[in-house]
Structure 1
Amino acid sequence: MDYVTLNDGMMMPQLGLGVYQIDDQNVTKQTVMDGLKNGYRLIDTASAYFNEEGVGEGIKASGVARKDIFLTSKLWWQDYAYEDAKKGIDTSLEKLGTDYLDLYLLHQPVGDIFGAWRALEEAQKAGKIRSIGVSNMNSGRLTDLIANSSVVPSINQVEIHPFFQEKDQVEYMKSQNVTPEAWGPLAQGAHDIFNNSILKEIGEKYNKSVAQVVLRWLLQRGVVVIPKSTHEQRLIQNIDVFDFKLSDDDMNKIATLDLNKGVADYSDPDFVNMLLKLRVRN
């Protein structure tokens, strides 16, 4: 496993397990157990995934010491007001069955971001959270938060995959000492990614799958990745990406796949209004 050093000195595994859209707590528990059994040490969940309990149960049942696991969760925007954010942090800790989180993120770039960020800063000082970060922030919102806060986010988790490569944003994050992290690194299966001729050709060269090629491509860009799967064999395959390196030529070939359009468009007022109407309770 490779690690990245965050701007607060924390060491974070560069590849982990995401559990988005795993709604069943028992399936979540088993997936986390399978992941930890096969070498995963970064687990990424969120309050809006409604599976924090399953993640916590999987960690507890795995036999892997809590100190050896890098655990991430996220606060949903409706709990961004300062007092609500403090309660949201405690709720995540309770559901996950832990007294600290390695990383906690603001899930969406809407609502009372500054009130929530102040709560995260205080929780970090209190030892409830070791690293604090954000998700889905474009460069403008990230700049605003950095300029008006005492703690620079350690992570910005955004959509990045071969068809939405976010080259400028990744470089900007690095210039601000914010580590980029990719959600949906396999494009959630869109654009028939697993049958893409360029990716398949590169995979054949290294005797690797398309998924392994894509994850390796992101790792070599300095991006943290959290692919999701509930199938143990795919979990094993996804983590088996540290025994090869893509050539510059192969990296450039993948760069040609960029369509510069993702699933989430935070510059679209209709999309933002949809988020503002999307309220969750857990």
Structure 2
Amino acid sequence: MVKESGLPREELFITTKAGLDYFDLMLIHWPMQDDLGTYRVLEEAYQAGKLRSIGVSNSNRAQLGEITANFQTVPVVDQIETCVLRQQTKLHQYLADHQIVHEAWSPLGEGAGRLFNHPVLKDLAAKYDHTTAQVMLRYLTQRQIMVIPRSTNPAHMAANINIFDFALTAADLARVQALDEKFSLSGWPSSMTLDEDY
């Protein structure tokens, strides 16, 4: 599919699965028993030019600390469950301090109705003349969190991108921040609650 597109390879950013000479980013999807061994292989691929960058998913501060203490190559990203109900404040600060991008998967809370109908978010959507989804995504991007909302609906995809023509005020950012329940919609394992008090 990539070759058939006719686009120059250097204009594409490929994370995985593409039968190419190199990948732009490869993620360790979940912490396992031999994270250091896995990371070692990825670092070797990085040093050999087969990877442009290495990232992790679902890793807490202790797991990231072990990686950064044992390798020269720091992960560029940690992809973790993040939405307005689970804002990951402590881990976010750790990532910022170590220049690791905080990437939110499920930034819209897996489409949970209680989020899209939340009175605070609906009030802000009306105030800014945007949807509640756009308010949630804008809140996260204003906190320097990369978002990857999932949708197969072209109209929703377009709306998810169209979030940079407004900015929440400091007072409105605080209103959304107060919605944090430290609640996992995906049921993270106990190892990921080591960073609680986010």
TM-score normalized by the length of structure 2: 0.90
- The alpha-carbon distance between structure 1 residues 122 and 161, as it changes in their structure 2 partners (threshold 3 A), is same
Aligned-residue CA RMSD in angstroms?
Answer: 1.7
AA aligned opposite 1:102: D
Q: 1:98 aligns with which of 13, 20, 39?
A: 20
The alpha-carbon deviation at position 63 of structure 1 amounts to 4.7
Displacement after TM superposition at 1:71 (Å): 2.0
The CA distance in 1 between the partners of 2:161 and 2:148, in whole Å, is: 10
Q: How many Å separate the matches in 1 of 2:165 and 2:6?
A: 27
Is residue 260 from structure 1 mapped to residue 182 from structure 2 by the alignment?
Answer: yes
**Matched position secondary structure for 1:257:** coil
Identity %: 40
User: 1:232: Cα distance to partner?
Assistant: 0.8
Kindly tell me: are residues 60 and 225 of structure 1, through their superposed partners in 2, closer, same or farther at Cα, counting changes over 3 Å?
A: farther
1:250 paired to 2:179: no
Query: Equivalent residue for 1:70?
Result: 13
Q: CA deviation at 1:152?
A: 1.1
Write out aligned runs for 1:86-235 (5 A). 92=17, 96-190=18-112, 192-235=114-157
When residues 60 and 213 of structure 1 are mapped into structure 2, their CA distance, relative to the original with a 3 A threshold, is: farther
| 5+ long unaligned stretches in structure 1 | 1-56, 74-91, 270-282
Letter aligned with residue 181 of structure 1 = E
Q: Which amino acid aligns with 1:142?
A: L
Distance 1:268 1:175, change over 3 A: closer
Unaligned runs of 5+ in 2: 193-198
C-alpha distance in structure 2 between counterparts of 1:196 and 1:180, whole Å: 25
Displacement of 1:100 after TM fit? Answer: 1.7
Q: Tell me which amino acid in the other structure corresponds to 1:261.
A: F
User: C-alpha displacement at 1:203, in angstroms?
Assistant: 1.0
- Give the drift of 1:195: 1.1
Please tell me whether residue 236 in structure 1 is matched to residue 179 in structure 2: no
Size of the aligned set, in residue pairs, is: 191
Higher strand share: 1
Q: Which residue of 2 aligns with 1:79?
A: none
Deviation at 1:265, TM superposition (A): 2.4
Relative to structure 1, is the Cα distance of residues 61 and 243 closer, same or farther in structure 2, using a 3 angstrom cutoff?
farther
**Residues in 2 aligned to 1:169 and 1:136: alpha-carbon distance in whole angstroms:** 11
